[in-house]
Amino acid sequence: MMVPDSSGLSSANEFMGKMDQAMDLYARCKEVTEKRKTVEAWSKVKITETVAKYKACQDLLNHTFGERDKALSKYYELLDKAVDSGDNQLILSALQGISGIVTSSPLSDFQEFVRVWDDTSQPLLDF
């Protein structure tokens, strides 16, 4: 009867242990790769949302301040005509219009827009 060589058995056990470690390492690598893919996908979504939010805010502010600029320009034109013609009633009306625009906050609508945008319980577009 042959007695198994203890050094060969020890080498086989060591090899099997290394194989188990390699398999565990491979499984962890696959898990990390999947997590990385999930994080990359999530970050793309968040970046897209952030860019869309930035553009929407930019468009709203450009529109709000653009309307304000046009209205003020018209009132200043009216004021110039009123001063040139000496029409005190028209001067007063133009100044009241300018005052109404200047004293109102163009950001009050923006604050409401941001509040609605941040409210995830309500869809922005309802089809």
Say whether pLDDT at 110 is over 80.
no
- pLDDT for 123 equals 59
- pLDDT for 126 equals 47
pLDDT by residue (tens digit) across 10-41? 888 888 989 999 999 999 999 999 999 999 99
Residue type for position 121: S
Write phi, then psi, for 122 (nearest 5 degrees): -120, 130
Neighbours of 9 (CB within 10 A): 10
C-alpha distances in angstroms, 64 versus 39, 68, 105, 106, 111?
A: 37, 6, 10, 7, 12
Sign of CA dihedral 78, 82, 85, 87: positive
Domains of the chain, residue spans = 11-118
pLDDT tier, 5 (very low <50, low <70, confident <90, very high otherwise): low
Per-residue DSSP letter, 3: P
Distance CA 89, CA 92 (A): 5
Q: Among the ranges 31-45, 48-62, 110-124, which has the highest mean pLDDT value?
A: 31-45
Say whether pLDDT at 117 is over 80.
no
Mean pLDDT on 119-123: 68
Say whether pLDDT at 44 is over 90.
yes
pLDDT by residue (tens digit) across 65-100? 888 999 999 999 999 999 999 999 999 999 999 999
Say whether pLDDT at 111 is over 80.
no
